[in-house]
Amino acid sequence: MKLLDKLIIRDFLKTYFFVVLMLILVVLVLDFTEKNDVYIQNQVPSAEILRYMGNYGLYLNNLLTPITVFISVIFITSKMAGRTEIIAILSSGVSFVRLLRPFLMGAALIGAVSFYLNGWVLPAATEGVTVFRLVYLDKGAPNTEQNIHIKVGENSYAYLNRFYKTSNSGFTFTLETIKDGKLLAKLSADRIEWDTAKNSWTLRNWRLRELKDRKEVWTVGEAKDTVLSIVPEDFGVPEKHHETLKLPQLSRQIKTLEARGADNVEFYKIERYVRFMSPFAALILTFIGVIMSARKTRGGSGFQIAMGFLMAFVYILLFILSRTFAENGSEYPIFSVWLPNIVFGLLGLILYKTVPR
């Protein structure tokens, strides 16, 4: 059986990489055809286009993994069933669980590679795609951010009317401390500047209003150094910033946001849940794929592959819906993220009752 294990793993991985390559190439060609006029109009360098396509290909690989794993398993297993190889293997005394072993070993290898890509490679690729679209397709990034609201502490909220990225300075700054719905202090400044030598902020023309025992205490000054739990990089954070952080960076960002009491920390936590959940999808879908295609059917392998596409798309749709539900305030976000694996895992156990013996 060891020789058969090697053959199954080899065919499984070979088919997986072939399906991945074909799907990615098709999507990249369609994407290039759609954007070719924009590339010419904006005079985008060929090297930048190739770099973008490479990054986008890595992103697609992660997105299409459930489909490619499922289709590869069904293609290999249905061919074996069509040639009555599975019947011969089971008739020789090999259990179905033992037959599953090489498929699950191949899926575990794919899952391990997927975990590494999700944690350390894909974030850089996602950032590259975002920067390319911003610079070459959306006519460059703005140098200013307007009307910024950010939570800098458990009870502290900052506001900036305008922030300039090039000079790391902003105008009309306000820092309010609010507890139990009551304003305790309000610090205002006409201008705020980042001091790179001190790693702190300098307030210009500042005013501090403190409410103590039903009295107001006012303090004013021309310049004041202050330490806030924010840095210039926290301004102008892209919409999907959590997807561009490597796994260690993501964990550190979660700790930073939790220390601030920031409201958007859940997006970063959900991203970490997803990165640990995704590799298990390869194992679960492989398990279901082998069960679905282990029996020879009248429809042939074409019908089984079509069913594989349908099941994979259902999984992706359920994953998107569950993640959206988690990001929109689910009481148990980790359960919502794991819901697709739980549902398909239970489905696999139910289908296991129908496998040939």
**Tens-digit pLDDT profile for the chain (357 aa)?**
688 899 999 999 999 999 999 999 999 999 999 999 999 998 999 999 999 999 999 989 888 888 899 989 998 998 898 888 888 888 888 899 999 999 999 999 999 999 999 999 999 999 899 889 888 887 655 566 778 888 888 889 999 998 888 889 999 999 999 988 889 999 999 999 999 888 899 999 999 999 887 788 999 999 999 988 888 888 767 767 889 999 999 999 999 888 888 878 999 999 999 999 999 999 999 999 999 888 776 656 677 778 777 888 899 899 999 999 998 878 899 999 999 999 999 999 999 987 765
Neighbours of 253 (CB within 10 A): 18
C-alpha span between 357 and 350 (Å, rounded): 15
Which pLDDT score is estimated for 189?
Answer: 96
> How buried is 174 (Cβ within 10 angstroms: 0-12 exposed, 13-18 middle, 19+ buried)?
middle
Which pLDDT score is estimated for 345?
Answer: 95
DSSP strands (E only) in 227-336: none
Which pLDDT score is estimated for 298?
Answer: 66
Is there a contact between 340 and 311 (Cβ–Cβ < 8 Å)?
Answer: no
Which pLDDT score is estimated for 1?
Answer: 63
C-alpha span between 260 and 257 (Å, rounded): 5
Q: How many CA atoms lie within 13 A of 164 on its CB side?
A: 9
C-alpha span between 309 and 72 (Å, rounded): 10
Q: How many CA atoms lie within 13 A of 347 on its CB side?
A: 17
Is there a contact between 355 and 94 (Cβ–Cβ < 8 Å)?
Answer: no
- Alpha carbon separation from 188 to 121, 149, 183, 204, 236 (Å, rounded): 42, 14, 14, 9, 21
- Can you read off the two tokens belonging to residue 191? 């201008």
In sequence order, what are the residues at sequence separation of 6 or more whose Cβ sits closer than 8 angstroms to the Cβ of residue 198?
225
Which pLDDT score is estimated for 214?
Answer: 76
C-alpha span between 83 and 77 (Å, rounded): 10
Which pLDDT score is estimated for 25?
Answer: 95
Side chain identity at residue 168, one-letter code:
N
Which pLDDT score is estimated for 143?
Answer: 62
C-alpha span between 263 and 61 (Å, rounded): 31
Is there a contact between 202 and 192 (Cβ–Cβ < 8 Å)?
Answer: yes
Strand order in the sheet with 169-179: 144-151, 156-164, 169-179, 182-195, 200-212, 215-226
